[in-house]
Structure 1
Amino acid sequence: MSRDTARILALHGGLLVLLFVAQFVLPAYHHGNLARIMVLASYAIGYNILFGYTGLLSLGHALFFAAGMYGMGLGIQHGGLSPAPALLAGVVAGAVVSGALALLALRTTGVAFMIVTLMFAQAGYLTILYFGDYTRGDEGFVLQTAQRMLWGIDLSDPTNRYFAAFTLFALCLCLSLWLVRAPFGRVLVAIRENEDRVQMLGYDTHAHKLAAMVISGTISAAAGAAYGLLFGYVGASFGSVQYSILPLLWVLLGGAGTVLGPFIGALFMFYLIDLSSGLTAAYMLIAGVVLVVLTLFAPQGLVGELRRRFWKGLP
């Protein structure tokens, strides 16, 4: 093992150890916040694979997040599934939806790709509202405590919920780290930098982008399914444009194309809004000003600037 690889494993492993230990020392409020942040960061990790590493800017990832959430929630609420197969149903739903969208959206590039993904995400959101008899539309539905027992573990319990969120985040983080350091991930980065040259080298760029979109959508769906199960609520708002823009902000703030960027961005954004909302009703103004300042002085994101200034080999 090279020295650089050892440093990378120590950094990412150290974050996981820190998050594991945090469970035992954090007060209840921050304990619950961090569980939520880890699930949302997992969503951002999925988004980062497509945007940060492959260079495809999607404005429709809420479709995948909602597909996972409703695949799980409807399976429990109307299909009588237990949490384990319901989670699997959510992940499969996200994989199928992302695969179908990829086949259509990847026929376009640039701005057209953004518009197509946004259009299909909006269609998904309107579909949720249209079938309100089953989805309960904007109101959504609550999963009861008895419906959230996974292998005898009560996921409504704060400690169990935290460790479930931690497990999901750890799996997504390790998968992302492995993926971007593997030959497949190297090709994705090359496509982001110069797709024409990658094609000249003999790689099937369309197949790689298709695979990246399916992987990205599947991870996002897993995060959506976990979010609904861990926090006991499934609602149409998670399929709205807001939840397509948020992972983009998290990734940009943390550092697009960095493994730790999605978590740092989600953590920073969550507490920025949380703290500013305690100061004024115009909290989004404060958040907006801070985001503009960060964009001006740290254009590559927080982790991206760390890589640019101090550690060129940081994945």
Structure 2
Amino acid sequence: MSITTKSLTLHLGLIALLFALGFILPAYHHGNLARVMVLAVYAVGYNVLFGYTGLLSLGHAMFFAAGMYGMGLSIKFLGLTPAPALAMGVLAGVALAVVVGLLALRTIGVAFMIVTLMFSQAVYLTILLFGEYTRGDEGFVIQQAQRVIWGVDLSTDQARYMAALAMFSVAMLSVLWLMRRPAGKVLIAIRENEERAQLLGYNVFAHKLGAVVLSGALSALAGAGYGLLFGYVGASFAHVQYSIFPLLWVLLGGAGTVIGPFIGTLFMFYLIDLSSGLTNAYMLVAGVALVLLTLFARAGLVGELRKRVWGWLP
């Protein structure tokens, strides 16, 4: 069996497994897994920039929030239906990513991290400033009647789960396809040695900008989808912690792996969920687990599997 066939079988198998779980999981885990899949789209987007291109952003919450507010405000004030509102959310994220990319990519290293953090804080403060429309930290609810797409009520458990699965499948398979194309190989080359990639004649700035835009688009899709599927839009999703979360998910699952962001998101979500049921100091439990993983699985859960067992994992 070729590497391409193995890879495709693995990722399609994961989608099939998630589809089957949608019919057998109890209600609590059914809802949790739907939430995990949407957040995993966010992690997949972050992984394009950090895991494959080697650009560490500390401000990705601005793209998540841009998608969420682009979708939510379109429904609230423009009266759009969910499908075009979702598209508006993604377009808002893409527009913001183009602007941020053109400016932030003039810097490198730590400066890039700081600039993205500054942009993200500016977006967060802008949301608070226009609280008359955004409702600030309080946020606003998207009514059930406004969450019906093509006759399907996305507020129901099964429809929400399948919509989350569809979003995650598109995001994961798109990145899998990209990483097998020449453009994806160039991103990896930039991550490994940017100067050498430039000497080989590649337009490094254009490829990095493309990575920022794609990452922003996927993150905005996650934000718009989250707001639409769970019926809430709020400024808390633009806060700095939502820029740190995807970094942790990607590091835990395995940076530069296609399936890693989902595994990392799933692991972190249930680690906090289970530990919070045992103690109020659940973040201490999560912190200890993160430290142990950092010490003994430095490449992440999927990254370690690639290093030790399945070297063909993309």
- TM-score tier, shorter chain, comes to over 0.9
Provide the residue aligned with 1:120 in structure 2.
119
Q: Given residue 47 of structure 2, which amino acid in structure 1 is its aligned partner?
A: N
Counting aligned pairs with the same residue, the percent is 70
The residue number in structure 1 matching 2:305 is: 306
Q: Write the distance in 2 (CA, Å) between the matches of 1:6 and 1:88.
A: 32
Q: CA deviation at 1:221?
A: 0.2
Rounded to whole Å, the distance in 2 between the matches of 1:313 and 1:101 is 34
CA distance in structure 1 between the aligned counterparts of 2:109 and 2:228, rounded to whole angstroms: 35
Match of 2:141 in 1: 142
Deviation sequence 1:93-116 (CA, Å, 0-9, x none): 000000100000000000000000
Partner of 1:79: 78
Structure 2 segments unaligned to the other structure (5+ residues): none
Q: Give the Cα separation in 1 of the matches to 2:80 and 2:155.
A: 18
Alpha-carbon displacement from aligned partner over 1:218-238 (angstroms, at most 9, x marks no partner): 010011000000000000000
Distance 1:238 1:147 in 2: 21
Q: Which amino acid aligns with 1:155?
A: L
Query: Which residue type is aligned with residue 104 of structure 1?
Result: L
The Cα offsets for residues 262-311 of structure 1, whole Å up to 9 and x where unpaired, read as 00000000000000000001100000000000000000000000000012
Matched, 1:227 2:226: yes
What corresponds to 1:211 in structure 2?
210
2: CA distance, partners of 1:213 / 1:196:
19
Specify the alignment match of 1:172 in structure 2.
171
Cα shift at 1:152: 1.2
2-structure distance, mates of 1:4, 1:228: 37
Cα offset for 1:313? 2.1
Distance in 2 (alpha carbons) for counterparts of 1:54 and 1:140: 34
- Secondary structure at the residue paired with 2:97? helix
Partner of 2:250: 251
For 2:289, the equivalent position in structure 1 comes to: 290
Q: Which amino acid aligns with 1:44?
A: A
Residue segments in structure 1 that go unaligned for 5+ positions in a row: none
Alignment RMSD, CA only?
0.6
Q: Any idea what SS the aligned residue of 2:136 has? A: coil
Aligned partner of 1:101 in structure 2 is 100
Q: Distance in 2 between matches of 1:212 and 1:314?
A: 21
Alpha-carbon separation, structure 2, partners of 1:91 and 1:202: 32
Distance 1:89 1:17 in 2: 30
Runs (4+) of structure 1 exceeding 3 A deviation are none
- Matches of 1:220 and 1:118, distance apart in 2: 16
SS of corresponding position for 1:78: helix
- Alpha-carbon distance in 1 for matches of 2:181, 2:52: 12
The whole-number CA distance in structure 2 between the counterparts of 1:280 and 1:216 is 36
Whole-Å Cα distance in 1 between the matches of residues 189 and 128 of structure 2? 40
Aligned residues: 314
1:151: Cα distance to partner? 1.1
Which letter does structure 1 place at the counterpart of 2:245?
Answer: L
Partner of 1:35: 34
Counterpart-to-counterpart distance in 2, 1:149 and 1:3 = 43
Rounded to whole Å, the distance in 1 between the matches of 2:28 and 2:43 is 22
Q: Distance in 2 between matches of 1:287 and 1:220?
A: 24
The residue identity in structure 2 corresponding to 1:302 is L
**Structure 2: distance between partners of 1:29 and 1:181:** 37
Task: Name the aligned partner's letter for residue 206 of structure 2.
Answer: A
Q: What TM-score does the superposition give when structure 1 sets the normalisation length?
A: 0.99
State the SS of the aligned residue for 2:138.
coil
Q: What amino acid is aligned across from residue 96 of structure 1 in structure 2?
A: A
Per-residue CA deviations over 1:4-46 (Å, capped at 9, x if unaligned) read 1111111111100000000111000000000000000000000
Q: Which whole-Å deviations, capped at 9, do the CAs of 1:138-181 have from their partners, x for residues lacking one? A: 00000110010111110000000000000000000100100111
What's 1:23 paired with?
Answer: 22
Distance 1:62 1:46 in 2: 11
Residue in 2 aligned with 1:10? 9
